[in-house]
Amino acid sequence: MPLPIKMLISTMSSFPYPVNEEERLAALKSYEPDNKGEEKEFDAIASLAAAICGTPVSLITFIDDKRQWFKSHIGTHLTENTRELSFCTHALTLDEEVMIVPDATVDDRFNQNPVVTAAGITFYAGVPLINVDGFALGTLCVMDNKTQEFTAEKISALKLLAKQVVDKLELRRKVRTLEKTNQELLNSNVLIQKFASMAAHDIKNPLSSMLLTSQALKQRWQTSGDKSCERLIDINITSIKTLLNLVDEMLAYSKAPSLLIAKKQVFELNGFLNRVIALLRIPANLHIVLPQGRHELNISVIALEQIVLNLLSNAIRYNDKEQGMIMIRFSEDDEFYQLELEDNGIGIAPEYHHKIFGSHFTLQVTDRYNEKGSGIGLATVKDLVTALHGTIQLKSTLGTGSTFYVSLPKL
């Protein structure tokens, strides 16, 4: 006799808990089971269990802290039950490989249970679904409205079918883990490619500085042997050290991409900004204003360097004003660092605000050096900010300028 469609209301106040209940619930959650109803792929196993055991009802169930829900339900329209009404919750607490209730009407644990008194269930046999770590996730069970002799052959078959359920669950979890790992690897590879592209671009700046100063040094030394050449030599040394540090960071990151995000350092903001600005070619008519005061951050220097370098580079390249200005502001609270970069450049039309962070999207305009952008820079910024679990927003007026708002959590 099928169980009634309407969920039974319990008059019972308690039920047994496994000793490792908290760990068991965590294990159940790791399988990400859909608790909204049955899954058809389990029906074949449940149907086979009912046929072998000669029962009208067969269930594959999972049990959380309050409910029991059915991945497959043969012989009943119910899709879930309260845990205190569940025979299966008792099966989770037993050391036995199978729990058999020959006649629930004379069993003190169940003879007042509405499943027995209202639905007429008399016989129950359930095998816990034990995962590879030894946690019981639920059961494969069969039920009948009359008593029956449950033979050793039926017990063996029910245990084998329960193992098939667990094997299916383990396979699905491994597939999900593999898919997640593959996606993380794909994201990491994309980030590596973008980082390498930007890093190669960044290397060109100190190299260009080294070339120009070396040429100037050669000319001055040939004509006068001027001691001011010493200052040019210092610039060369600084540029070389900057280049070497950048290459070292690239090499470390290529061996362990997670370092880009995970390798946090404590540093002073304005000193950091000055080092980044030194990598750029700053026109004589452009002024950069740094944040007031002293601020210490603890975050990935490599990632933040790429974020700031790209934003500053764009602000410089696309500034068409006679007196260019870039204002950098900083604030923080208990949870976030907030960085603002405001410029008085060409601005961005509203219809492009949601597109500029897309890969390889460009505005198709030339910069102050008569070059067009590649569309890599802002896409890289967006990816890095996202990888740091932060956000980036834009406010811009065409012809007036742009402000980028970067918020990064203090992880």
Residue 10: predicted pLDDT: 36
Q: Do 21-150 and 258-411 have matching folds?
A: no
Q: Which two tokens stand for residue 54?
A: 């000669």
Give the CA diameter of the chain.
113
> pLDDT tens-digit profile of 7-43?
333 333 356 677 788 888 988 888 876 554 456 778 8
Amino acid at 53: C
Q: What is the DSSP string of 98-166?
A: SEEES-GGG-TTTTT-HHHHTT---EEEEEEEE-TTS-EEEEEEEEESS-----HHHHHHHHHHHHHHH
Residue 166, C-beta contacts closer than 8 angstroms, at least 6 positions apart: 129, 130, 131, 137
pLDDT in tens, 60-76: 999 888 888 888 899 98
Distance of CA 76 to the CA centre of its chain: 39
The reply to whether CATH 3.30.450.40 applies to domain 21-150 is yes
- pLDDT in single tens digits along all 411 residues of the chain: 444 333 333 333 356 677 788 888 988 888 876 554 456 778 889 999 999 999 999 999 998 888 888 888 999 888 888 888 889 888 887 766 899 999 999 998 888 898 888 888 999 999 999 998 888 899 999 999 999 889 999 999 999 999 999 998 888 888 888 877 777 666 666 666 666 666 666 676 676 777 777 777 777 776 766 666 666 666 776 777 777 676 666 666 655 656 666 678 899 999 999 989 988 888 999 999 999 999 999 998 888 988 999 899 999 999 999 999 999 999 999 999 999 999 999 999 888 888 888 766 666 677 776 766 655 678 888 888 988 889 999 999 999 999 999 999 997
* 22: helix, strand or coil: helix
Report pLDDT digits (tens) over 151-160: 999 999 999 9
**Helices vs. strands in the chain: H and E counts, helices first:** 10, 13
Name the helix (H) or strand (E) containing 255. helix 229-255
For the chain, what are the domain ranges?
Answer: 21-150, 258-411
| Predicted pLDDT of residue 104 | 92
Give dist(CA 323, CA 401) in Å, integer. Answer: 13
Strand bridging mode 286-289 / 324-332:
parallel
- Give the C-alpha separation, 13 to 176, whole Å: 38
Confidence at residue 11, expressed as pLDDT on a 0 to 100 scale: 36
Would you state the CATH architecture of domain 258-411? 2-Layer Sandwich (3.30)
Distances (CA, A) of 25 to 53, 66, 87, 136, 397: 29, 11, 18, 9, 53
Q: Given this model, what pLDDT does residue 174 score?
A: 86
